Amino acid sequence: MFPCRFNNNMLYTFVEMHRKTLEPTRAIAQLSKEFYKTFFPHTKFGRSMAATAEMVERLTRRYDKPHFDILETEISGQKVKIEEITVAKKAFCNLLHFKKPGKFNQPKILLVAPMSGHYSTLLRGTVEGLLPHADVYITDWLNVRDVPPEKGTFHFDDYVSYVIEFCRKLGPDLTVMAVCQPSVPVMAAVALMSEENDPCVPHNVVLMGGPIDTRKSPTEVNDYAAMRTIRWFEDNVITLVPAKYQGAKRQVYPGFMQLYGFMAMNMQTHIDAHKDLFQKLVEGDGESATSHKKFYNEYLAVMDLPAEFYLDTVKIVFHEHLLPRGKLVSLGKPVRLENITRPALLCIEGQKDDISGRGQTKAAINLCSGIPDQRKHYHLQQEVGHYGIFNGRRYREQVVPLIIEFITNDNFNKEELTMTIAKKPAAKKVVAKKPAAKKAVVKKPVAKKPAIKKPVVKKPAAKKLAAKPAAKPAAKKTVAKAVAKTVAKMVTKKKK
């Protein structure tokens, strides 16, 4: 028997030591790749050795936070520059704005990124899909290993508080869009604002693949969390930030732990993907290889979570299901989803989602009983998994138009928004007058048609030519006379 309780406090430090020991291996792999690419680029042996060296280099690399690098978008066929600016700074999060020059009169969207191990840049595709149609803001969560301990802790309630603060900063004409994990704190924030009759309650709420009620269609992720106690999580997955970082000695749920957990769920898929990458490198298929590397550069870049927030989420969402049971208390107040009456609600799920099962996000529709049925909408996106809901071709071609239509065509909002929407039909009426003008234009050729009748008058001459068949009876008469003569001759011969 050990006299003290087991903990994982040294795990992070051991991982850092292991990474340091692999640095020489990675350096050799980089040099080898350049060597074979330089001196044997046209031989299969050279390409195979270069591909092997690149695979080793990638497997031993530390993937840092990527950048959004969204420089422009296209609006009505024209290129528009995008400027990424920080409009608010908090201890654990920055609020970013993808600003366009000039005024485009587009709906304002607050995209709440998940704080679940990946950086907000995982939603780069989500942002790019929305930019042509909306004025987009996003929560950019910081890696807590870089947040000094004196900045304090970060609990579930702090997340809710951040969402409320950002909603108030951006004003009442706002659509809040939660992707995956933040669906629960976002709904809690909207409920608390509704309870207080806050004028900045969002006009629309969009939930995408969120674990509102994990009792419905539980997935492997749900079962993993539900089958283990909070004590188990504290002892096995919580560790301390190493001394080299600003957040040294802060308790965290490390990003590498989350990454390994997600990859273990579909390990064969990731193995096959890397086999395919190796083949593409050997074949020289640079385009396919670049696409693969771009995805995994993003996927393998992970951040650490505050231990207190992670444990709060496990307890609230996966163990006790406090939100759907009406038992959640946040910021010292009960969270009542039935008190939400102002926003329109759209819930989106993926048919093949193996992280948030089907029905978990849809549960919000029944829980928000204060919202009229005609303002609650549900969409099941076919043939996509969890990430396909907010990234990829189907997201751009099918999900984005659905979201924009939901936001712009909602006629059930409060008076303030109804006034802005009411202007649109007026514009349509002006456009509707144009067909009437077209009719007037069409009538002009009709007035000139009498001049065209002259060729029609000439047609009787053509008819005279067509009347020649009347000569046929005359021909018939001559034939009859000839027959009569022959018959008469025959008769006279017989008489003789």
CB-based burial label for 42 (10 Å; 0-12, 13-18, 19+) = exposed
> With 60 as the cut, is the pLDDT of residue 440 above it?
no
Options 3.40.50.1820, 3.30.70.20, 3.80.10.10, 3.50.50.60; CATH for 72-254+304-413 is: 3.40.50.1820
Could you tell me the maximum CA-CA distance found in the chain, to the nearest angstrom?
158
Separation of alpha carbons 130 and 215, rounded Å = 31
Using DSSP, how many helices (H) and how many strands (E) does the chain show? Answer: 16, 15
> With 50 as the cut, is the pLDDT of residue 456 above it?
no
Tokens describing residue 287: 């385009």
**CB 397 within 8 Å of CB 403:** no
Higher pLDDT, 295 or 286: 295
pLDDT digits (tens, 9 = 90+) for 229-283: 999 999 999 999 999 999 999 999 999 998 998 888 889 999 999 999 999 999 9
pLDDT digits (tens, 9 = 90+) for 172-222: 899 999 999 999 999 999 999 999 999 999 999 999 999 999 999 999 889
DSSP letter, residue 302? B
Q: Is the dihedral of CA 29, 35, 36, 38 positive or negative?
A: positive
Nearest to 42 by CA among 286, 283, 279, 277: 283
> With 50 as the cut, is the pLDDT of residue 479 above it?
no
**CB 144 within 8 Å of CB 247:** yes
Buried/exposed 71-90: b ≥16 CB within 10 Å, e otherwise: eebeeeeeeeebebeeebeb
> Domain extents for the chain?
11-59, 72-254+304-413
pTM: 0.80
pLDDT digits (tens, 9 = 90+) for 314-363: 999 999 999 999 999 999 999 999 999 999 999 999 999 999 999 999 99
**What confidence tier does 80 reach under pLDDT thresholds 50, 70, 90?**
very high
pLDDT digits (tens, 9 = 90+) for 372-384: 999 999 999 999 9
